[in-house]
């Protein structure tokens, strides 16, 4: 009897061991796969060279790019204050550096996975003609994979993630790591501001499409056969990949971010929702403000109206694919701004000043 029980226990142990090993293999395979995808995204952005002014102006989505810049400028104007210290996650080529200079910030840290983009951000920062008023640090690495506290000293008033948070939704682990990093880097009362695709709009358009793809003259979105039902049950709310192509800007895999899940996950990390608006609603809301109309004119997003020089209907439809979000880190703000008043000044950066994130 005892021998039989002992044998049963042994068999059970063996089965449990086999199940655990299988799970581990699946998890490892998942991690390898998501790293491969992150590299694909990094290679795409790294390969995009800096454009000359003429090239930029002749882009088929020039007005959409200017509208995006206007939206980011308005967000920065609303949530970034003099002397603030700012963490720019997925900062790209440093396209927001001048916006932060206008906001008179005290400290800037930019992180991006694409080495080529970080290099361009350094060149933009070093540009002597537009010397910026703050000290900057740049890091290269995957900010949805590693613990940022191992490389960067926290205590930021604002964390910004523009057009990039959706790259963390390939797995729940990456999405959680992203939010954990944001939360731990921010001071209590600090703001997390960003822009990303609006999955509501994307799913609506997918369902209205005949097949698994839709778009217009400036963008195309396509889903794989596995999404033929066009239904996304609750259990599979991460890793829903589609391919996004935006003329002269994006051509890589992206992942749907279901906002209610994003909001509740963020709440688990002490980040409370302040604002969520589709780009169309954000534009309608802020275009009534004289200061922002003026900025829109200066940036030229709406062109001068002559010879069709304005945002095209297709660009406006592409803008509808995005939303703006703002979260606030729970807790009472401390005496943080005074510290930043004793700020360091601009100083030329060298390639060796770009640090790698500690993995
Ligand atoms: C559309 S660009 C936006 C760049 C910049 N935030 C802006 O608004 O101009 C997306 C950026 O996200 C970066 N990115 C994507 N995945 C990332 C990751 N895991 N860690 C850090 N950066 C990432 C890309 O390299 C790229 O520079």
pLDDT, residue 273, reads 98
Cβ(57)–Cβ(123) under 8 Å?
no
pLDDT, residue 304, reads 65
pLDDT, residue 302, reads 77
- Residue whose CB lies within 8 A of the most ligand 1 atoms, among 167, 171, 244, 357, for a mutation test: 167
CA of 24 to the centre of ligand 1 (A): 30
- Residue whose CB lies within 8 A of the most ligand 1 atoms, among 34, 43, 87, 112, for a mutation test: 112
pLDDT, residue 339, reads 52
pLDDT, residue 51, reads 78
pLDDT, residue 263, reads 97
Quick one: CATH architecture of 32-356? 3-Layer(aba) Sandwich (3.40)
Question: In the 3-class helix/strand/coil scheme, how is the chain assigned residue by residue?
Answer: CHHHHHHHHHHHHHHHHHHHHHHHHHHHHHHHHHHHHHHHHHHHHHCCCCCCHHHHHCCCCHHHHHHHHHHHHHHHHHHCCCCCEEEEECCCCCCCHHHHHHCCCCEEEEEECCHHHHHHHHHHHHCHHHCCCCEEEEEECCCCCCCHHHCCCCCEEEEEEECCHHHHCCCHHHHHHHHHHHHHHEEEEEEEEEEEECHHHHHHHHHHCCCCEEECCCEEEEECHHHCCCCCCHHHCCCCEEEEEECCCEEEEEECCCHHHHHHHHHHCCEEEEEEEEHHHHHHHHCCCHHHHHHHHHHCCCCCCHHHCCCCHHHHHHHCCEEEEEEEECCCCCCHHHHHHCCCCCCCCCHHHCEECCC
* pTM for the predicted model, two decimal places: 0.91
To the question of whether residue 320 is assigned a binding role by annotation, the answer is no
CA of 163 to the centre of ligand 1 (A): 7
To the question of whether residue 68 is assigned a binding role by annotation, the answer is yes
What are the average pLDDT values for consecutive 10-residue runs of the chain, which has 359 residues?
A: 78 80 69 85 86 83 95 98 97 96 96 96 88 93 97 97 97 97 98 98 98 98 97 86 95 96 97 98 94 89 70 96 98 68 76 96
pLDDT, residue 143, reads 96
Pairing of strands 322-329, 271-278: antiparallel
């Amino acid at each position: 009897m005892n021998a039989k029980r002992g044998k049963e226990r042994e068999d059970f142990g063996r089965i449990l061991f086999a199940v655990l090993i299988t799970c581990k293999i699946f998890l490892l395979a998942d991690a390898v796969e998501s790293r491969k995808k992150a590299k694909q995204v990094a290679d795409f952005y790294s390969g995009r060279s800096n454009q000359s002014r003429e090239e930029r102006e002749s882009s088929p989505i020039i007005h959409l790019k200017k509208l995006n810049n206007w939206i980011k400028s308005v967000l920065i104007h609303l949530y970034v204050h003099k002397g603030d210290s700012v963490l720019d996650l997925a900062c790209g080529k440093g396209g927001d550096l001048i916006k932060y200079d206008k906001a008179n910030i005290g400290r800037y840290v930019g992180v991006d996975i694409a080495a080529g983009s970080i290099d361009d951000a350094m060149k933009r920062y070093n540009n002597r003609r537009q010397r910026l008023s703050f000290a900057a640090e740049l890091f290269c690495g995957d900010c949805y994979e590693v613990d940022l506290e191992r490389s960067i000293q926290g205590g930021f008033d604002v964390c910004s993630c523009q057009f990039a948070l959706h790259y963390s939704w390939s797995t729940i682990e990456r999405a959680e790591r992203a939010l954990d990093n944001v939360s731990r880097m921010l001071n209590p009362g600090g703001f997390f501001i960003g822009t990303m695709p609006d999955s509501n709009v994307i799913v609506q358009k997918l369902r209205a499409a005949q097949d698994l793809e839709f778009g217009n003259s400036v963008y195309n979105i396509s889903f794989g056969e596995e999404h033929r039902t066009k239904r996304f049950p609750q259990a599979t709310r991460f890793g829903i990949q589609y391919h996004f192509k935006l003329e002269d800007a994006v051509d890589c895999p992206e992942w749907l971010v279901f906002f209610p899940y994003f909001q509740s996950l963020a709440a688990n990390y002490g980040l409370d929702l302040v604002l969520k608006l589709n780009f169309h609603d954000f534009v309608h809301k802020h275009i009534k403000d004289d200061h922002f109309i003026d900025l829109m004119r200066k940036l030229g997003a709406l062109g001068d109206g002559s010879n069709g020089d304005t945002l095209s209907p297709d660009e406006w439809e592409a803008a509808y694919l995005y939303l703006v979000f703002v979260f606030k880190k729970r807790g009472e703000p401390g005496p943080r701004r005074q510290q930043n008043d004793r700020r360091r000044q601009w100083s030329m950066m060298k390639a060796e000043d770009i640090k790698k994130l500690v993995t």
